[in-house]
Chain A
Amino acid sequence: MNKEKMVPYIFLLVPLPITFFILIYPALVSFYISLTRYDGLHPPRWAGLDNYSRFFSDPQMVVDMVNTLIWVALGVILPFLVGMAIAILADGKRFEGLFKTIVFLPFGLSGVVVGIMWIFVYDPDNGIFNIILRSIGLDFLVRAWLGEPFINTFAMIGAYIWINSGFSLVITSAGLRSIPQDITDAAVVDGLSGWQRFRNVTFPLLTPFVAVIISMNILNALKVFDIIYVMTGGGPFRSSETLAVGVFFEAFSVRSFGYGSAISVILFAIVLVVSVLYIKYSYKRIVRY
């Protein structure tokens, strides 16, 4: 192999070991732990697939799966729709930069900070949310948004949409910039209305960007942890717990590292399958003119 062909491999000498020790090795150890009974104190004892069969018979995991699916369903679509809508509506308008900056700013905050902020927003007595509801005569909707099982999941998704709409906005804006002006002009000349232009020209040309947004949103929604942990801790009584939060609870609160690792392996498998399927599906549908 000549020197020139060796150069890329030399540059890989640093990141590859780092990736192995930070990512691959812990994943392999986690998979091994998932096949054991391990409390972090005594040596691990081989358990085979017991932790995995326990997962499929644990009623709490049904709750976790349902909550995870709710997060995926709403946490993927809604931030995408909100971000895209703002990008399209603000495109080319006055103060476009200001609108987009305001919507994008929350994306720069950490999930922990956002969670703490929205705890105050949802405070039953002094939160701005309930204050607004009371002020517009919707007192019957006033409640402890984060204290009520099931409702609290949707309340947290509201905070999640607030953060992640910015990501969709930025990607969609980049996509809009990439659409050739002559195609849009031709659509105008052909007499298409705004909605028809969006449906037949703009959106199809945005499909590569939509694929990126949706696939990133799926990944993030499947493994969301920080917002839930800060806002409700998965409670009350694990009613808002997702698989990712369940991993932490089983491993660190209950000291079932084997079971927690099994849940994390299952979650990883779900993320992998969904991501691969979606990317394969979406890239087939990318439209190029």
Chain B
Amino acid sequence: MTEEKVDRRRYIKYVGGAAAGIAVGAVATYLATRPAKELITTTVTRPTTQVTTVPATPSTVVTTATTTAEPWGGKIYPEIDAAKILARYGRPTTAEKDQVQVNVYVARGQTATRGYYDIYRNAGNPSYSEVRNVYINPIQYGQGSPFAATINRLWGTVAAPDLTEWWVGYPLRQNAELGQLVDLTEVWDNHKDEYTEGTRQIYSVDGVPYACPQITANWLIWYNPETFSKHGVKPPNTWDEFLDLLEDLKNAGVTWPTFMPFVDWTGFIWYMELLIRTDPDFYEDLVAGKAKYTDPPSVEVMEIWQDLLKKGYFGDLQKAAAPGFALYPIAPQFPEWWLNGEIGTLAVADWVVSHFNAANISTDKYDFFVLPNPKPEVGKTVAVEGVPFCAGKGAANEEFAVEMLDYWMAPEIYEVWATKVFPQVFPNTKIPVEKLNNSVLEREAAFFSEPGWRYLTRYWEAAPLEIVPKAALIWDKFAFNPDQLDQILQELQKLADDFWSESSPE
């Protein structure tokens, strides 16, 4: 092969052509992906449903909203008076001269993102955004780990998040101790008659609140009353009754007497549920690094769990480890399994109701009980998962972020979120329980309004993130290998020792 000299002009022609092609492609891509002009869609309930789309001119959008209004756009709860709510909490009620965009970092997907738009842009007539000329700009991530890594790099910098979803417990403590979070005492004091002290403490570090509730979920055992009725069983009141229940469901051929995917993050659930009901004080010491996984209370819990595993109450584990067999996002076949009676019981938070709603499963087909204590003398305990909003200290729009949180926590506003977007028992006690419009959640609200409950932060938040994901996988391994109890406990303790022996993380 002979070498051909490259002609300079031809070379420049080719490079120039390539550059021009890239430039044209970039412009075309920009034009093709430019966000469309925002439309506001109104659904009006008439004998024949009709959708009317009007251009986004706020002054002309006055419609009669109904409870069937689309969550994306459209006026919802027109009776909400945003200015009055702001005035109640001592916040400004006039529009900012220049429009403000508050960045809100989201790791929970499209539904949550739309919900945030609804709260600030469409709830009320006019809405908060229309009153204050302050809008939200949700920045959405698809996954927890990269989301957390990104936000951790932003805290305390010029790009600190105005508002972000975050975690309570140990992660909240870490960021608070580094001075990266806004002290929200003022906000919580504004709402002190609306939220219980117990709720406040979930979102606090050493008594100082650094977060506001977004989702407050109790961890319970869920079941389908129809499945129970079919097999002649009922919710248990004691631990022995619970064991009998699982045995009866297994003998009746229920695929999963208790459904639990041992894959990814869920491995900690049964350990947590059993430990908070045998020794909750030990649980709090354990997650704080003051107790060991090899201590007798932990061993006792693992032995109880081992017994459940060996009796086959968790069904086909190989199937349970297959992809898609998950709690969040929930397995696609979950509604089918639930309605077919293949699932006997399910240990999960009450946010599972949003999955039931999404699958159009009615309230007569799901209900809950609290796992009975293996040690009855322990008292009433429940694990709580708190998913908060936090405001970044030094963020560009820090003052507006705090104002938005104050507005968010108002009963009228939180009701919109907790009924239209993310069903949950209202942490705001001023919202009438019947607004839940869900008999199961109403029963849950009444259940936990009784005194004497001890709320413990869910393990995933309570323990350091440097331990939790690995520990969950070690427990997954235990589920598949219940005979390796001692080895599993040693692995867990080594993991904890490696972390706690250092004076700071990693």
Chain A positions within 8 Å of B, measured between CB atoms, are: 7, 11, 37-42, 45, 119, 122-125, 143-149, 230-233, 235-239, 249, 251-259
Query: Which chain B residues (139-186) contact chain A, with CB distance < 8 Å?
Result: 145-146, 148-149, 152-153, 155, 174-175, 178
| Contact A41/B476 with A119-B324, A123-B322 known, Cβ cut-off 8 Å | no
| Contact A124/B322 with A45-B504, A254-B466, A254-B470 known, Cβ cut-off 8 Å | yes
Of the four ranges (under 10, 10 to 19, 20 to 34, 35 or more), the interface on chain B belongs to 35 or more
B98 contacts A by Cβ under 8 Å: no
Once the chains are docked, how many angstroms separate the CA of A11 from the CA of B322?
52
Once the chains are docked, how many angstroms separate the CA of A257 from the CA of B145?
12
Once the chains are docked, how many angstroms separate the CA of A97 from the CA of B61?
59
Once the chains are docked, how many angstroms separate the CA of A243 from the CA of B138?
34
Query: Can you show 7 pairs from A to B with CB atoms below 8 A apart?
Result: A40-B152, A123-B324, A144-B316, A147-B263, A233-B263, A236-B476, A239-B477
Of A122, A231, A235, A251, which contacts B476 at CB under 8 A?
A235
**6 additional A-B residue pairs with CB within 8 Å, beyond A7-B8, A45-B504, A251-B149:** A39-B466, A143-B318, A147-B317, A147-B320, A255-B466, A257-B506
* 7 shortest interchain CB distances as A-B pairs: A147-B321, A147-B322, A237-B477, A236-B321, A252-B145, A237-B476, A39-B505
Chain A neighbourhood of B149, CB < 8 A: 40, 251-252, 255
Once the chains are docked, how many angstroms separate the CA of A50 from the CA of B14?
51
**Beta-carbon nearest neighbor of A120 in chain B:** B324
Of B322, B333, B469, B506, which contacts A144 at CB under 8 A?
B322
In contact, A41 and B178 (Cβ under 8 angstroms): yes
**Beta-carbon nearest neighbor of A119 in chain B:** B323
Once the chains are docked, how many angstroms separate the CA of A259 from the CA of B505?
12
B394 CB, nearest partner CB in chain A, Å: 16
Chain A neighbourhood of B321, CB < 8 A: 144, 146-148, 235-236
B264 contacts A by Cβ under 8 Å: yes
In contact, B473 and A146 (Cβ under 8 angstroms): no
How does the 8 Å CB contact mask read for B190-227 relative to A, with 1 for contact and 0 for none?
A: 00000000000000000000000000000000000000
Once the chains are docked, how many angstroms separate the CA of A149 from the CA of B321?
9
**Beta-carbon nearest neighbor of B477 in chain A:** A237
Once the chains are docked, how many angstroms separate the CA of A277 from the CA of B67?
69
Chain B neighbourhood of A252, CB < 8 A: 145-146, 148-149
Once the chains are docked, how many angstroms separate the CA of A242 from the CA of B362?
44
Of A125, A146, A254, A259, which contacts B323 at CB under 8 A?
A146
In contact, A235 and B264 (Cβ under 8 angstroms): yes
Once the chains are docked, how many angstroms separate the CA of A42 from the CA of B503?
12
Chain A neighbourhood of B466, CB < 8 A: 39, 254-256
In contact, A237 and B323 (Cβ under 8 angstroms): no
Once the chains are docked, how many angstroms separate the CA of A7 from the CA of B480?
65
Query: Which chain B residues (1-55) contact chain A, with CB distance < 8 Å?
Result: 8, 15
Chain B neighbourhood of A249, CB < 8 A: 469
In contact, B506 and A38 (Cβ under 8 angstroms): yes
Once the chains are docked, how many angstroms separate the CA of A124 from the CA of B255?
14
Once the chains are docked, how many angstroms separate the CA of A256 from the CA of B8?
51
Query: Which chain B residues (464-493) contact chain A, with CB distance < 8 Å?
Result: 465-466, 469-470, 473-474, 476-477, 480
A75 CB, nearest partner CB in chain B, Å: 20
Chain B neighbourhood of A38, CB < 8 A: 506
**Beta-carbon nearest neighbor of B174 in chain A:** A41
**Beta-carbon nearest neighbor of B503 in chain A:** A45
A144 CB, nearest partner CB in chain B, Å: 4
A83 CB, nearest partner CB in chain B, Å: 26
Of B324, B325, B469, which contacts A254 at CB under 8 A?
B469
Once the chains are docked, how many angstroms separate the CA of A18 from the CA of B221?
55
In contact, A41 and B175 (Cβ under 8 angstroms): yes
Chain B neighbourhood of A238, CB < 8 A: 473
B262 contacts A by Cβ under 8 Å: yes
* Most chain B C-beta atoms within 10 Å of own C-beta, residue among A37, A145, A149, A235: A235
| Contact A149/B152 with A37-B502, A233-B263, A259-B506 known, Cβ cut-off 8 Å | no
In contact, B505 and A255 (Cβ under 8 angstroms): yes
How does the 8 Å CB contact mask read for B365-392 relative to A, with 1 for contact and 0 for none?
A: 0000000000000000000000000000
| Contact A41/B318 with A233-B264, A253-B145, A254-B470 known, Cβ cut-off 8 Å | no
How does the 8 Å CB contact mask read for B316-357 relative to A, with 1 for contact and 0 for none?
A: 111111111100000001000000000000000000000000
* Most chain B C-beta atoms within 10 Å of own C-beta, residue among A7, A123, A258, A259: A123
| Contact A235/B263 with A41-B174, A252-B145 known, Cβ cut-off 8 Å | yes
Once the chains are docked, how many angstroms separate the CA of A253 from the CA of B264?
11
In contact, B318 and A147 (Cβ under 8 angstroms): yes
**Beta-carbon nearest neighbor of A231 in chain B:** B323
In contact, A42 and B504 (Cβ under 8 angstroms): yes
Chain B neighbourhood of A45, CB < 8 A: 504
| Contact A254/B465 with A7-B8, A41-B505, A144-B319 known, Cβ cut-off 8 Å | yes
In contact, B473 and A235 (Cβ under 8 angstroms): yes
Once the chains are docked, how many angstroms separate the CA of A204 from the CA of B149?
51
Chain B neighbourhood of A41, CB < 8 A: 152, 155, 174-175, 178, 505
Chain A neighbourhood of B480, CB < 8 A: 149, 236-237
